[in-house]
């Protein structure tokens, strides 16, 4: 295939100070849950992106000194020679594919935790921290400021030693000391580093100049700046101080990486944002600097990318989440394979890795985080290990991914779906408010399967155990999913809630199907992820009076990890959903329910003609159990293996189901050498005993 000429502009080189990017695709700094804990995992993950055509591949935030320790969250570090080796590992991997390697030097000021180093947090003024840790920052004196400049310079020199191509001065989001100095609401100083905007920008200017003097002969110097905090007059704005800051520093860096603050706005989920959402805030930057500009905007469409460049919004297409969902996005555009792009769904499950201090995962890309530990590649997979045929029962996320990956390996695959529509839970969930982009999980896999002559799809095929035994294939993967429970059993309740067997009790599937629910409605959320809030929003949009009762301390509490809890709660309140937090359901009656405080057990009556249970899910595993429990029949039918995958094995999030389907396909005829440890671990080299 050849590249569409419309996209030629995306593959023009861009000069960044003393270095040149081979095209306009720029993987901006993004957290990954790997950092200093898993340097080999981190290096391989970034290398795959360079292989996929990204011209610039950057680290996450890289702490310049122990006074900015983000433990337990695993960021990068450049404190000493060991950290130089870790960064060099990534840089060398990125350079192998002709890409530039960037490092985002950072000191997080009032966003610092220092839980491990126990050093005193520093900031422009004496202020409380911003991340919920019960500590404060000490106002930096002149000696501290000199030290800060020295720490940053030393980190830049270490970055150069590690053969880094682009070194950042980080003033983005709401978590960096340079941003805190620039914010009038956090900088209460009366010396030359406080007061006027020029004074508040002084430290950023000095560190830019220091960095350029130290490593600018070899490295491009980038600044990342949040030009708008979306706080109106209470913060920096793109038509106010954000613009003035860019004008003050316009020609000093070699590249401007511009965004909005804070992280939840910069990486807004698809439920609350759309492609190119930051354009109105960053579009002014190119008019006040001659240096190249990179910006992000959940870019997945090459047409949108070209439009941004031709209209003078940016010079380089910045991406974090789209580069995670498809590390080969640039190469697919370059090679004329646009239809093969695995588009990001904007769910932010990748972000949750950072918040849970674990290597990130991706709903669309099951290889993400397993490039080193399992040796998985997002585009290549080993050829089949036999001529066996594989029957996949169920075309939800696990079944679709298993069939797709097995087909890619060259196996004969039959995919049987009991209903007319493919996609399983993805299909009905994507019909709920704000989740339409999630249909990409289904659509990308269906599109790839349609191109495979060795994969046959059977719709409206509800298979019995006898059907499976007669099918004539050697392996069976059962991906029949799971269903939400009506009985209320979940995290809080180990037994059925009295009254849950009534005709007025429903599940999220019922809500999506439009089953006859009448108001007022109680949505009982003991799951605390996205489903309870989405169901409540839909029911309210349908005109019902809705009360969300949750065992959590807020609506959809776990979505703190995906940066959207505050938006979910705000939307529910705005559309008129009443929220009752920290309450369990004790009993369901005809017209009301008994709710009980999870702390005091104090009972309150709530009116409800209908109750929707969002508690836990029950695997649809009867087919699997019948087959797996009769080895004699399996042997007689020539079936070598039967395996439950995805929600049929263990109900979880969609990302886990996709990963499980992919794993089953990878391990078909190629099981791990050590089934007790089916992946590589990173070991810390122990120093000599003292």
Catalytic (active-site) positions = 31, 170, 173, 266
Q: Is the Cβ–Cβ distance between 534 and 432 less than 8 Å?
A: yes
Kindly list the distances between the CA atom of residue 523 and the CA atoms of 51, 283, 501, 579, 629, in Å, as whole numbers in the listed order.
47, 42, 16, 10, 38
Tokens of 416: 């049987």
Of 533, 522, 530, 527, nearest to 492 by C-alpha is 527
Q: CA torsion sign, 567 to 570 to 574 to 575?
A: positive
Tokens of 528: 């605390």
Q: Are 648 and 480 in contact (CB under 8 A)?
A: yes
Question: Nearest Cα to 60, choosing from 260, 218, 322, 70?
Answer: 70
β-strand 293-295 against 316-319: which pairing, if any?
Answer: parallel
Residue of 436, 390, 434, 439 whose CA lies nearest to 416: 390
Which residue shows structure tokens 């450049």? 78
User: 440-450 and 397-409 are packed helices; what angle lies between their axes, rounded to 10 degrees?
Assistant: 30
Token representation of residue 242: 């954000």
Helix axes 142-161, 202-215, angle to 10 degrees: 30
Find all residues with CB under 8 Å of 100, minimum gap 6, and list them.
16, 19, 21, 55, 56, 57, 94, 165, 166, 220
Q: Which residues pair with 392 in a beta bridge?
A: 415, 477
Q: Burial letters for 133-143: b for 16+ Cβ neighbours within 10 Å, e otherwise?
A: eeeebebbeee
Output the six-digit token pair for 606: 């709530």
Quick one: how far is CA 152 from the chain centroid? 29
Tokens 């941003």 -> residue = 179
Per DSSP, the residues of 143-209 read HHHHHHHHHHHHHHHHHHHTT-SEEEEEE-TT--HHHHHH-TTT----STTSSSHHHHTHHHHHHHH
Q: Do the beta carbons of residue 633 and residue 469 sit within 8 Å?
A: yes
Separation of alpha carbons 124 and 173, rounded Å: 16
d(CA 23, CA 302): 14
Paired strand residues for 477: 392, 643
Q: Which of 106, 213, 218 is nearest to 161 (CA)?
A: 218
Output the six-digit token pair for 418. Answer: 């009991």
Rounded Cα distance between 436 and 271, Å, is 8
Helical ranges in 12-119 per DSSP H: 39-51, 81-95
Q: Residue holding tokens 């702490």? A: 63
Phi and psi angles of residue 443, each rounded to the nearest 5 degrees, phi first = -65, -40
Residues 261, 173 contacting (CB under 8 angstroms): yes
Q: Look up residue 544 and give its DSSP letter.
A: -
């Amino acid at each position: 295939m050849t590249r569409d000429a419309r996209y030629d502009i995306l593959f023009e080189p861009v000069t960044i100070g003393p270095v040149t990017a081979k095209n306009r695709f720029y993987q901006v700094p993004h957290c990954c849950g790997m950092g200093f804990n898993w340097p080999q995992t981190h290096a391989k993950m970034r290398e795959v992106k360079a292989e996929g055509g990204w011209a610039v591949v950057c680290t996450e935030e890289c702490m310049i000194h122990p006074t900015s320790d983000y433990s337990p969250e695993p960021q990068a570090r450049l404190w000493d020679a060991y950290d130089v080796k870790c960064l060099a590992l990534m840089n060398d991997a990125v350079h192998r594919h002709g890409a530039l390697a960037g490092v985002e030097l950072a000191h997080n000021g009032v966003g610092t935790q220092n839980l491990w180093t126990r050093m005193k947090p520093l900031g422009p003024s004496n202020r409380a921290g911003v991340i919920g840790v019960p500590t404060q920052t000490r106002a930096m004196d002149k000696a501290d400021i000199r030290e800060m400049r020295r720490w940053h310079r030393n980190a830049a020199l270490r970055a150069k030693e590690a053969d880094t191509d682009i070194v950042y001065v980080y003033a983005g989001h709401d978590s960096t000391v340079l941003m805190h100095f620039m914010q009038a609401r956090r900088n209460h100083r009366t010396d030359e580093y406080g007061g006027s905007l020029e004074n508040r920008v002084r430290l950023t200017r000095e560190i830019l100049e220091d960095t350029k003097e130290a490593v600018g002969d070899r490295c491009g110097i980038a600044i990342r700046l949040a030009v708008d905090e979306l706080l109106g007059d209470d913060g920096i704005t793109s038509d106010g101080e954000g613009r003035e800051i860019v004008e003050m520093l316009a020609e000093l860096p070699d590249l401007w990486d511009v965004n909005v603050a804070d992280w939840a706005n910069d990486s807004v989920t698809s439920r609350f944002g759309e492609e190119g959402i930051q354009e109105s805030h960053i579009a002014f930057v190119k008019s006040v600097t001659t240096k190249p500009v990179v910006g992000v905007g959940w870019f997945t469409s090459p047409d949108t990318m070209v439009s941004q460049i031709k209209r003078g919004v940016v010079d380089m297409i910045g991406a974090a989440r789209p580069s995670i969902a498809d590390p080969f996005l640039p190469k697919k555009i370059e090679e004329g394979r646009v239809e093969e792009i695995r588009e990001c769904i904007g769910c932010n499950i990748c972000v949750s890795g950072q918040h849970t201090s674990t290597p990130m995962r991706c709903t669309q890309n099951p290889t993400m985080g397993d490039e080193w530990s399992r040796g998985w590649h997002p585009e290549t997979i080993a050829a089949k290990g036999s001529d066996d045929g594989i029957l996949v029962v169920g075309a939800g996320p696990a079944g679709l991914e298993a069939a797709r990956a097995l087909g890619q390996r060259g196996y004969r695959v039959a995919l049987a779906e009991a209903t007319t529509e493919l996609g399983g839970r993805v299909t009905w969930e994507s019909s709920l408010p704000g989740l339409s982009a999630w249909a990409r999980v289904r659509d990308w896999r269906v599109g790839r399967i349609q191109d495979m002559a060795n994969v046959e799809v059977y719709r409206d095929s509800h298979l019995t155990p006898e059907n499976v035994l007669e099918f004539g294939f050697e392996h069976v993967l059962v991906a029949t999913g799971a269903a939400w429970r009506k009985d209320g059993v979940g995290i809080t309740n180990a037994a059925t809630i009295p009254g849950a067997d009534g005709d007025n009790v429903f599940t999220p599937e019922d809500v999506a199907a439009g089953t006859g629910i009448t108001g007022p409605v109680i949505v009982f959320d003991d799951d605390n992820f996205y489903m309870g809030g989405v169901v409540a929003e839909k029911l309210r949009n349908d005109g019902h009076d809705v009360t969300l009762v949750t065992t959590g301390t807020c609506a959809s509490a776990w979505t703190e990890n995906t940066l959207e809890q505050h938006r979910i709660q705000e939307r529910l309140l705005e559309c008129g959903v009443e929220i009752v937090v920290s309450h369990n359901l004790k009993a369901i009656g005809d017209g009301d329910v008994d709710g009980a405080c999870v702390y005091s057990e104090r009972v309150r009556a709530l009116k409800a003609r209908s109750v929707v249970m969002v508690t836990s899910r029950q695997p649809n595993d009867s087919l699997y159990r019948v087959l797996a429990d009769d080895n004699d029949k399996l042997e007689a039918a020539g079936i070598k293996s039967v395996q439950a995958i995805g929600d049929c094995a263990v109900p979880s999030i969609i990302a886990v189901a996709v990963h499980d389907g992919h794993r089953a396909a990878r391990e078909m005829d190629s099981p791990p050498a050590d089934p007790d440890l089916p992946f590589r671990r990173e070991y810390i080299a122990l120093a000599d005993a003292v």
